[in-house]
Amino acid sequence: MPATLGDRTLFPSLTPKAYLNHAAISPPSSVVQDAVAACLRHYTEEGMGAFSTYLERREDLRADLAALVGAQPDEIGLAPNTSWGVVFAAMCFPWEKGDGVVVLDGEFPTNVTPWQQAAELYGLRIHRIRAADFCSPDPGKGLAQLETALRAGAKLIAVSAVQFQTGLRMPLMAISALTHRSGAAVFVDAIQACGVVPLDFERLGVDLAACGSHKWLMGLEGAGFIYVRRALGPQLRPRLAAWLSHQDGLGFLFDGPGHLRYDRPLKTDASVIEGGAYNTLGFVALQASVGLIRSLGVNTIYDHVQAYHDALEPKLSALGLTSLRSPSPGERSGVLSFDVPEAFEPTRLPERLAARGVSVALPDGRLRCAPHWPNALGEVDLVAGALEEAIAEATAG
């Protein structure tokens, strides 16, 4: 069954009437469930006999992901999650002692902690910039601070494509242009963008990226990918390599005697991250979910989500919430967040809304609404009504 904008037919068991939590975890569609069940059944029936089938399908997934983000298949490596991709980049980048790395205050910790660890291990200097300083009305403030850090020796900036609290879509092209003029690199945490915001890593000038599949890609937890620009791959130092990081790493298992060696060259592309056994079920789920997203088109999904936000934002603002959505369309994403007055008991809003059939999140105290392609515009009045009741409950008496 094909995917249709604003249609929940592929989610027949989904309990909330309005599921606005795709920036946290997306529920798997029936298409994803069927793909996983078929894979599990195949392994149940054939055991090792199923392995080669799904080994080949990984190459198809690699190509699908590359097409989704404007990359080449050999620039995509399959990873367990975003965090592992960030760790890989932080530990394998060709650092020299005294280099600098730029991190942003306001980022999800996934895109800060590994860089802090790398700084401690390799003797790097950390430069901090507020993510909000890249936001309108003066996005040049962040770029000016980045330029200062680059002049001081920063060799890489780690930035999320979309900020998880506010939904701010970062100016990746401007960041990349400035960074590349100094000979430095750009790493992007893409998990809050990929699948809902159009991305073209080559056009945007991204050098490294990581993304998990359980949010906007609508797959399962424990699967994701990294991107390594082809020219950068040979420069990486694969300090986290394992047995399948070697070229022809599987050969000794199938090619007869005399092929067991420990000196095979390591891969020099993104697949070097694929050092051990794969989460086959997770990648089967990801391939199924990406197929649905590509069938709709990310640009189409983005426009649908913005229409949802356009309808929802004024209704929630009229109830006393303060929208954090950027006034600039180019800075918008799949996330619509609000500051909530203390009188509304913000920490209790998610549970009160859940009791009324609306699923939202509250990262760092901001009310976050994150619809996706299955969300119908007709839900907006339901969401606004549920919030109005929740506020009345909080302020009663």
Tens-place pLDDT, residues 342-360: 999 999 999 999 999 999 9
Q: At residue 397, does pLDDT exceed 70?
A: no
Tokens of 117: 């660890």
The answer to whether residue 10 sits within a structural domain is no
Same domain, yes or no: 58 and 196: yes
Domain shared by 114 and 213, yes or no:
yes
Same domain, 63 and 193: yes
Of 169, 217, 198, 215, nearest in space to 297 by CA: 198
- Residues with Cβ within 8 Å of 369's Cβ and at least 6 positions away in sequence, in order, are 20, 309, 312, 316, 335, 336, 337, 338, 360, 383
Q: Are residues 205 and 180 part of one domain?
A: yes
What CATH number did the domain enclosing 306 receive? 3.90.1150.10
User: In this structure, how many other beta carbons lie within 10 angstroms of the beta carbon of residue 226?
Assistant: 27
In percent, the amount of the chain with pLDDT more than 90 equals 93
Kindly report, residue by residue over 63-83, the tens digit of the pLDDT: 999 999 999 999 999 999 999
7 found inside a domain: no
- Pair 89, 184 in one domain: yes
In the listed set 276, 293, 310, which residue is the last one of a domain according to the structure? 293
214 and 324: one domain? Answer: no
For 112, other C-beta atoms within 10 Å of its C-beta total 19
Six-digit token pair at 121? 């291990």
Q: What is the CATH number of the domain that holds 278?
A: 3.40.640.10
For the chain, the average pLDDT equals: 96
Q: Is pLDDT of 1 > 90?
A: no
pLDDT in the model for residue 255: 85
Please say if the pLDDT value at position 179 is more than 60.
yes
Mean pLDDT of 269-288: 95
Looking at residue 386, its amino acid is A
240-255 pLDDT tens trace: 999 999 999 888 888 8
The total number of structural domains that make up the chain: 2
**How many CB atoms within 10 Å of residue 285?**
28
Are both 325 and 176 inside the same structural domain? no
Instruction: Give Cα separations from 195 to 45, 98, 288, 367 (angstroms).
Output: 33, 37, 13, 22
Whether 389 and 337 share a structural domain:
yes
Q: Tell me whether residue 224 is in a domain.
A: yes
Q: Could you list the residue range(s) of the whole structural domain that residue 317 is in?
A: 18-23+298-395
Single residue among 265, 293, 321 that ends a domain in this structure: 293
Residue that finishes a domain, picked among 293, 327, 356: 293
